[in-house]
Amino acid sequence: TQLLEQSPQFLSIQEGENLTVYCNSSSVFSSLQWYRQEPGEGPVLLVTVVTGGEVKKLKRLTFQFGDARKDSSLHITAAQPGDTGLYLCAGEENNAGKSTFGDGTTLTVKP
Amino acid sequence: DADVTQTPRNRITKTGKRIMLECSQTKGHDRMYWYRQDPGLGLRLIYYSFDVKDINKGEISDGYSVSRQAQAKFSLSLESAIPNQTALYFCATSDRLADSTDTQYFGPGTRLTVL
Q: Given this model, what pLDDT does residue B1 score?
A: 57
Alpha carbons B2 and A97: distance in angstroms, whole number: 23
Yes or no, beta carbons of A33 and B109 under 8 Å apart? no
Whether the CB of A85 is below 8 Å from some CB of chain B: the reply is no
The mean pLDDT of chain A is: 94
pLDDT at B2 over 90: no
Rounded to 5°, the CA angle A77-B92-B75 comes to 155
- Beta-strand (E) ranges in chain B? 4-7, 10-13, 19-25, 31-37, 43-51, 54-57, 64-70, 73-78, 87-94, 105-106, 110-114
Whether the CB of A105 is below 8 Å from some CB of chain B: the reply is no
pLDDT at B78 over 90: yes
Q: Given this model, what pLDDT does residue A7 score?
A: 95
Dihedral angle of Cα A73, B36, A31, A74, to the nearest 10 degrees: -10
Mutate to test the interface with A, among B43, B45, B99, B112 (most CBs of A within 10 A): B43
pLDDT digits (tens, 9 = 90+) for B32-49: 999 999 987 789 999 999
Using CB atoms, pick whichever of B50, B59, B90 lies closest to residue A42.
Answer: B90
Q: Mean pLDDT over residues B91-101, rounded?
A: 84
Instruction: Find, among B86, B106, B110, B83, the residue nearest to B94 by Cα.
Output: B106
Residue A81 phi, psi (nearest 5)? -55, -30
pLDDT digits (tens, 9 = 90+) for A24-69: 999 999 999 999 999 889 999 999 999 999 999 999 999 999 999 9
- Helix, strand, or coil (residue A8): coil
Work out the minimum CA distance from A92 to partner chain B, whole angstroms.
6
Whether the CB of A3 is below 8 Å from some CB of chain B: the reply is no
pLDDT digits (tens, 9 = 90+) for B3-62: 999 999 999 999 999 999 999 999 999 999 999 999 877 899 999 999 999 999 999 999
Q: Which residue of A has its CA nearest to B92?
A: A42
Yes or no, beta carbons of A92 and B101 under 8 Å apart? yes
